[in-house]
Chains A and B, each alone.
Chain A
Amino acid sequence: MQDTQDNIKLFGNLITVSGIFCLAVALLLLINYWHIRQTKPLETEALKSLVQQFQADPESEALKKDIRSLDLLARKAFFTSQWQIKAGALLLLFGAIAFATCLRIYHTMKARILEPLIDGVDSKVTRMLSQRWILITGGLLLGSALVVSFLTTDYLKIYEETGTVVQAPAEPAVKVAVVDKDEKTGRQKTEDGGQEDGKTVVGDAGALVIPAKAGTSPLSSAGVLVTPAKAGAPSLNTDFRNNHPSFRGPWGQGISYHTGIPVDWDGPTEKNIKWKVALTKKGNNSPVIWSDKLFIAGADNESEVVYCFNRLDGKLLWEQDAKDIPGSPAVPPKVTADTGLSAPSVTTDGQQVYAIFATGDILALDMEGKRIWAKSLGVPDNHYGHSSSLICWKDKVIIQFDTNKGGRLLALNSLTGEISWDTPRKAKISWSSPIMAEIDGKLQIITTSSPTVAGYDFDSGAQLWAIDCLSGEVGPSAAFADGLVYAANEYARLAAIKPGPTPVIVWESDEYLPEAASLAVSNGLLFIATSYGMFACYDSKTGKKQWEKEYGQGFYGSPMIAEGKVYVMDRSGAMHIFKVDRTLTSLGDPILGEKSVVTPAFADGAIYLKGEKSLFGIETIRQQKK
């Protein structure tokens, strides 16, 4: 017993000693710590001023010596204090271990001797007290939070209500001449700027010329104008090139002139998906773009609607119903589900947007969604549903109106909706869309149907040439490049036609034939996407197959060419991107995560895709890591 008592005493003392030791070391450490913080040996003013003196007097050996010794001292001080902290911390650790060990032993030995505490506290009183204090504390906390919340000013709200509290940085003294955004923003924008200060002129030849100084005539100095085409020829102008005004791009040729198109995205994880909006009405039409506006259409048994989105952020700008059109059927015609009531894509010329639906209703809206005109062409007798997209140019909107009752090609005046010309066609029903091309200096509209592939004069609607080479239910639209027209249909053939008074088939093939997807030609290569998942590339001059690739999913959307790449999306929503090249170079297979049967639309640095359920704006978004 005596022994234990002694031991207890001993360890009690040990605890005290080690405790005091620890405290002392800790105190010293803290002082050291504080000292370094205060003095900052590395960046002393003394050293700085010495260096300054030395730079004024670079030859002074004495100053140099002073600097070197002071610097040495400073570094020594810095690193020694670092060492001291390290050593002190170790000492403290050992002290603490000793302290904790003694404490344990002390408690173990003392354990059995303690007398039980006499419990004299009335638990009822305690409980009442606890209740009171919990409620008081809680109340105080909530109360003070309330007070503080009333005392805080919501500067963000103030800012939003009053606008700029802080002055914007002063305008640069130098005048900045904006020579347009590389012609990319389109007419809408240039007119805004142009009409105000009278500087912006859209040159006829396609080059956008903006004088920096007022008073300079834009065309007088245009000595080295590079004109893409001969003067007077109706060539595809810059505005159309810089937008995506109709199904399959400008003039429906399957070629986009935009650059920086993303090749990598992922719908499910939203990689590079800048925005995504859910579609409210069905429509197998493809998006169409003018400047910042993106148009699509949708229809169900209730209504037919044209939607306009801001393509930059996916916000719906407006939507407009096609209602109250005289002659429009009360009940929409029966169509198959995979065609739908709104298969034709809309088209725009930057002033107005035009849309047609399976009911035969066609309407023209201005860019703000106001209706300019609307009319009914009569319900097309079409067992799947009318699906030929519109195309517009200058003052005309072109409609390929091939039904079971015969074929017509119509041109409506874009301002009034009156028929400019109406040419009957020797054609059975078709689902393909007209394209436009300039052939032999004449602007033509090229159509495909069973059995005829034909070219019509844009101005008069007169048929300029025709050749019978297709059969069956024709869905794919034609393509035109380097003087040849290409047409194809499943169970028929693929033909390269030299148009002219007597058209000639230059070559033909029947290996791979498309059912719905149109053809695309660029750089001497022709691309075909079949409904059974084959994607093939041919030499467009000779018809020699260059390469092919098979996918598990078929293609309904058409291939599009942009920036030397060909984009084609299969029905599962997987885009396949290839280099326009004689050898197969796959550039990626990004997926949308939704089924899709439509053709992509492009803008600079962006691609717009429409899935079964949603519309996607895709841009290469710089990865943010945080």
Chain B
Amino acid sequence: MKWLKIILFLLPLLLAFSDLEAQQRFPKPEFHTKYTQPTPTTPEPRGVGMEFVDVLVLLVVLSLTSWFAIKKRSRNGILLLTVFSAIYFGFYRNGCICSVGSVQNVALAFADPKYVISLYALLFFLLPLIFSLFFGRVFCGAACPLGAIQDLLIYKPITIPAWLRKTLGFIPYLYLGLAVLYAATGTEFIICRYDPFIGIYRMNGPHLMIYLGIAFLLMGLFIARPYCRFFCPFGAILNVFSRFSRRHLSVFPTKCIQCKLCTTACPFEAIDFPDEEKTKPDTKSNTRRFILYMALIPVLMLAGSWIGSKSHVFLSKAHPDVYLAELLISHPELKTDSKNIDIQTFLASGKSLETLVAEAQVIRDKFYTGSWILGAFLGLVIGLMAMNQIIFRRREDYQANKGNCYSCGRCLDYCPVE
């Protein structure tokens, strides 16, 4: 059916091209020799069909990972899939399209009615999320090429203090918020621009990408998966989704014997310890704290949205049009700077400054809405993260933290329980 569609698509195109030949009214020079006029070549882009192959591969990898992590309990299987993802999504597909970046496409499609999103981009966004709702972060475990390269290059992971980990865990939410804001306002796709590993997969790329990639990989030798844990905006969403997953990788197959071996296996410190009697909190003071935080969250959100709305002016400066407008207002002398291509092109375009300012104002208004939502969101995240620290869940066994566990399966190898 799809092929039929493609053929139907191409048919008028072919006709149009033959038409074009007929339309060429102005004749070429009268060559007397046998010279034939070449036509410009137009190498075709990768076809649409192939994009759906990618979706299919993603689906298969996700399913297999889930199976390996939950049913088969095979670290080696997951490792193999990781290598496969690094090769397929990384080296072969050059890291584009990836689910991490698709967040921005979805955000822009949601905000801008003119933007046309491809179905496969939408699927790349949806599939990992749906899987995480049912099987945990299997996407991070083996399907994500960015995770794969870091996972394969862990050398001597060091332990990071829990408070630092938790605090740094705030960065992905901030990154996510900014990425969605900038994507939705049509400013730019910052996740893609600062993607550290694409340059490495392509073995080609601008300076910044390569430097960033090397820096992250070197860091990754000692801090396991630094990008995933402390930057990845998609990871932030997956973290939330995975907390409510229906099934999840379990460290032990039947019963935990409290040998603690798994805690040394996990380089991400994603294994929760059982509660000890002595750490059991004083229920009364804890309840008070809980109520305090419950009250604090709306306050934080309000404060956040107020500050966010205040911040829209400088956040919007990232948009090139806004920046150009402000630049021309604040530095009118730049108009005579013949080296500044951007200003010169603007002046040559015949567009008046008024129009530019009006356009910039429209963008800034979008930023106003976006910024206060962002502020409120960040307030909520801060509040929830802090509150999460006083909620005690009863635990008797060593168990993977559903939010932070990447389903890489290292612990499975260590668990002595048969």
Contacts and interface: CB of A to CB of B under 8 A. Distances in A.
A376 B276 CA distance: 93
Contacts of B322: 156
Contacts of B152: 100, 103-104
B48 interface: no
A549 B144 CA distance: 59
Query: Top 5 nearest A-B pairs by Cβ distance?
Result: A138-B382, A116-B260, A129-B163, A149-B310, A89-B203
Interface in B224-267: 259-261, 263-265
B54 to A, nearest CB: 22
17 contacts: A30-B214, A93-B203, A96-B153, A114-B265, A119-B260, A130-B163, A138-B300, A138-B381, A138-B385, A145-B307, A148-B311, A149-B310, A149-B311, A152-B314, A153-B330, A156-B329, A165-B329
B313 A154 contact: yes
A112 B385 CA distance: 35
A158 interface: yes
A142 B313 contact: no
Interface in B338-378: 347, 353, 357, 360-361, 364, 375, 378
Interface stretch (A120-128, A225-233, A406-414): A120-128
A137 B163 CA distance: 11
Interface in A33-83: 33, 37
A24 to B, nearest CB: 13
A37 B211 CA distance: 14
A96 B200 CA distance: 11
Given A96-B153, A166-B332, A167-B332, 18 more contacts: A89-B203, A111-B413, A123-B276, A124-B279, A129-B161, A129-B163, A130-B162, A130-B166, A131-B386, A137-B167, A138-B170, A138-B385, A146-B307, A152-B313, A155-B326, A156-B325, A159-B325, A166-B353
Contacts of A104: 79, 152
A141 B174 contact: yes
A152 B311 CA distance: 9
Contacts of A492: none
A142 B214 CA distance: 31
Contact of B385 (A103, A117, A134, A154): A134
A39 to B, nearest CB: 15
Contact of A156 (B203, B360, B382, B390): B360
Interface of B: 79, 152-155, 159, 161-164, 166-167, 170, 174, 203-204, 207, 210-211, 214, 259-261, 263-265, 273, 276, 279, 281, 300, 303-304, 307-308, 310-311, 313-314, 317, 322, 325-326, 328-330, 332, 335, 347, 353, 357, 360-361, 364, 375, 378-379, 381-382, 385-386, 389-390, 413-414
Nearest to B272: A123
Contacts of B360: 156
Interface residues of A, number: 58
Interface of A: 15, 19, 26, 30, 33, 37, 86, 89-90, 93, 96, 99-100, 103-104, 111-112, 114-117, 119, 121-124, 126-135, 137-138, 141-142, 145-146, 148-150, 152-156, 158-160, 164-167, 169
B273 A145 contact: no
Nearest to A88: B203
Contacts of B326: 155-156
Contacts of B265: 111, 114
A390 B333 CA distance: 58
